[in-house]
Amino acid sequence: MSAARNALLDSALLLRVRRELRRVADPRKAPAMQAYMKSNMPYHGVATPLLRQSYSLLFRKLELSAPEVWRRAVLTLWRGAKYREERYAAIALTGIKAAAGFQTPAAMPLYEEMIVTGAWWDYVDEIAANRVGPILRGYPAPMKKKMLAWSKSENIWKRRTSILCQLRFKQDTDLDLLYACIEPSLDSKEFFLRKGIGWALRQVAWTDPAEIKRYVRKHRERLSGLSRREALKNIGK
């Protein structure tokens, strides 16, 4: 299939997504959604349950013959989005069943672009926990190296991703990796890094509260009050 033909198909997908979201949207909700997310990009005004239903219908019969076809379709949605839900659609497309075999370290440049250009927690946290995390689980050696590099990045969202990528790991969390990814940001004044550190520690506390109490006690002088409170929030309850 020619490059021009591929481009037309990807553009058609973006238009289908936009039409469907407009069909199910309640524009009256859009201003409040935009204000809550502090977003420069407007919203159509689609509630989360309807978003999920719409994405399921839109992507159910989508043919993704190769990783490059999938990546191109995702980036067409992401880069061409005019409304925030259209970028949510791009993230949803990265996680469909047909793309399961594409979740390898080769997908990381795609996720890196989305993290860096998205640069806000609603995009980044979903990608960190549900895309980067599974790749880390499946390919630990190269991904540990990458997450350690990201933990020292000048980009706070790559740092946050390195900290949050194990959110779903529970008792399988690699604590050495987590602590190593937290270390470069321990003294940061950045809210999203402080919050992310606390959240990541709190997730571990569900299965190993004693370890998290030990870690917080050891690093009490360097951890922000926000990180400490978040880390210990559910211990003892």
CATH number at residue 144: 1.25.10.90
Average model confidence (pLDDT) across the chain: 94
* pLDDT value of residue 5: 46
In this structure, what DSSP letter does residue 96 have? S
Looking at the structure, do residues 70 and 110 belong to the same domain, yes or no?
no
Is residue 116 located within the same domain as residue 50? no
Task: Out of 102, 117, 134, pick the residue that ends a domain.
Answer: 102
- The Cα–Cα gap between 158 and 142 comes to 16
pLDDT band, very low/low/confident/very high, at 213 (cuts 50, 70, 90): very high
Q: Are residues 127 and 237 in the same domain?
A: yes
Per-residue pLDDT, averaged over 147-160, amounts to 98
Short-list 195, 212, 16, 173, CA closest to 120: 195
Coil, helix or strand at residue 221: coil
Do 152 and 217 reside in the same domain of the chain? yes
pLDDT at res. 27: 96
| Domain identity same for 178 and 140 | yes
Mean pLDDT of all residues in 193-217: 97
Lowest mean pLDDT of 49-63, 106-120, 128-142, 189-203, name the range: 49-63
**Considering 102, 118, 149, which residue would you say is the last residue of a domain?**
102
Instruction: Express each pLDDT in 59-79 by its tens digit.
Output: 988 888 899 999 999 999 999
pLDDT cut 90: percent of the chain above it? 91
* Shared-domain flag, residues 31 and 145: no
Label residue 10 by pLDDT band (50, 70, 90): low
Answer yes or no: do 71 and 113 share one domain: no
Q: What pLDDT band is residue 82 in, cutting at 50, 70 and 90?
A: very high
Lowest model confidence (mean pLDDT) among 2-16, 45-59, 83-97, 201-215: 2-16
Phi, psi of 234 (to 5 degrees): -105, 5
Residues 137 and 233 both lie in one domain: yes
Q: Of the residues 82, 102, 122, which one is the last residue of a structural domain?
A: 102
Same domain membership, residue 220 and residue 109? yes
**Per-residue pLDDT at 4:** 42
Split at pLDDT 50, 70, 90, the class of 175 is very high
* pLDDT of 94 above 60: yes
**Whole-number pLDDT of residue 62:** 87
pTM: 0.93
Are 94 and 109 contained in the same domain? no
The domain of 25 spans: 1-102
The average pLDDT across 117-131 equals 98
- 16 plus 95 within the same structural domain: yes
Domain match, 119 and 181 both: yes
Domain count, the chain: 2
With beta carbons less than 8 A apart as the criterion, state whether 126 and 94 touch. no
